[in-house]
Amino acid sequence: MSRGKPAVWLDIPRLAVFPNFLSDDECDYLVERAKPKLTRSTVVAGEDKLDMVHEGRTSSGCCFERGETEKITTIERKLAMLTATPLENGEGLQVLRYEEDQYYRPHHDYFDPTLPGYDKYLERGGQRLYTVIMYLNDDFDQGETEFPILRMLIPPIKGSALVFANVAPNGRIDDQTLHGGREPKNGTKYIATKWIRQGVY
């Protein structure tokens, strides 16, 4: 990870928080562009990689195509620099809305090799090396990103970016990256996420 000085840094797992990664304008742009496209969030499950609604995830979300607009391309280039990875290894940006008391229960972002159909998940781009969570607003209470194993809470501060590696330096999946999105109170939370693969996605 190469852009700026992180406010938080852990070596195991590799995790960092970068303040002021996105400008207010970039945050507001993603929120407004996402609003008309938001639908109930799903999870990927099963050998056929079907998207399904799950009680552990109650947010709404939408996905942008990579390079969908000039501003999105600018953000994607910043993300590639931040993680020192090729632009083409990134999945499309996803924007999520958590209304009051909505959540995403703790989960891993890597593809679990013990699950059925594991190889199919890797056919395009391979494993998810990095997760980036960007906080697009902070006019609400609570709504932290929690890491239960690490006993760590990351506060949602507008413009900041949380980056963590889903795999250890030896290539093994890192169970310590178990994380979830806590419920916001007295407002609505917006975040953008980016998953970066081992190879071209």
**Helix residue ranges per DSSP H, 8-85:** 24-34, 70-83
Residue 115: per-residue pLDDT = 81
Q: How many CA atoms lie within 13 A of 127 on its CB side?
A: 15
- Assign domain 8-197 to a CATH class: mainly beta
Helix residue spans in the chain (DSSP H): 24-34, 70-83, 118-122
pLDDT, position 49? 47
pLDDT of 2 higher than 70 = no
The pair of three-digit structure tokens given for residue 99, joined into one six-digit string: 């209304």
**pLDDT tens-digit profile of 16-37?**
999 999 999 999 999 999 999 9
* Pairing state between β 39-40 and 60-63: antiparallel
Give the three-state DSSP class for 112: coil
**CB burial of residue 39 (10 Å; 0-12, 13-18, 19+):** exposed
Higher per-residue pLDDT: 53 or 62: 62
Task: Tell me the H-state helices in 91-199.
Answer: 118-122
Average pLDDT for residues 91-99, to the nearest whole number? Answer: 96
pLDDT of residue 5: 66
Greater model confidence, 5 or 102: 102
* Kind plus residue range of the DSSP H or E element containing 17: strand 15-18
Distance CA 131, CA 201 (A): 14
Residue 3 has pLDDT above 80, yes or no: no
Express as a percent the part of the chain with pLDDT over 70: 88
* For residue 1, pLDDT beyond 80: no
Report the chain's mean pLDDT, rounded to a whole number: 89
Q: Which residue has the higher pLDDT, 83 or 1?
A: 83
Contacts of 164 by beta carbon, 8 Å cutoff, 6+ apart = 13, 14, 15, 16, 130, 131, 177, 179
pLDDT (tens digit, 9 = 90+) per residue, 136-188?
999 999 999 999 999 999 999 999 999 999 999 888 999 999 999 999 999 99
